[in-house]
Amino acid sequence: MDESDVDEVLVESGVGVLSMAVDGVPYGVPLSFGYDGDDTLYFVFLGASAELRKEMYAEQTDVASFTTFDVDPNGAWRSVIVAGPLNRISIDDWDTAREALADNAYQSNLLSEYELQENPNVWALEIAERSGRAVGQ
């Protein structure tokens, strides 16, 4: 897939799996995401577990990977994998993140229930690498 095809999948998908690792122990979590159309994916960590596993992995991972895909009923499929550093956004980046999430996150209506905080639990993956594959298209 060329870069425009990869962008198309990122814009249309809205959900995928964020993968992180700490000390060689992997952790993957399905998440809705927003894409700014350029080089950043945004994730809101809602409903944190008691042990804050997502946050701990996000804070300690060096490079995160995100995979999204779609499968057509006729058997054709396409997938995209992006990777890069993952950082919690500052309050100054909230408007950009919110717009990206509202544009293509799965069930973006949940954002209306998410109150703006001094330190929102929103994370940005800066895309350093991207690749995509399509079969049967």
- If one counts the domains in the chain, the total is 1
Q: The dihedral of CA 10, 16, 20, 24: what is its sign?
A: negative
CA distances, 93 to each of 27, 51, 74, 125 (Å): 26, 26, 40, 13
CATH classification of the domain holding 93 = 2.30.110.10
pLDDT bucket at 50, cuts 50 / 70 / 90: low
Q: What is the mean pLDDT of residues 102-113?
A: 67
Q: What's residue 137's pLDDT? A: 72
More confident: 63 or 50? 63
CA distances, 95 to each of 7, 20, 52, 69 (Å): 21, 25, 25, 27
Q: What is the mean pLDDT of residues 72-76?
A: 91
Q: What's residue 46's pLDDT? A: 73
The string of pLDDT tens digits covering residues 114-128 is 555 556 688 999 999
* pLDDT value at 48 more than 70: no
Q: What is the mean pLDDT of residues 95-106?
A: 85
Expressed as residue numbers, the domain containing 26 is: 3-135
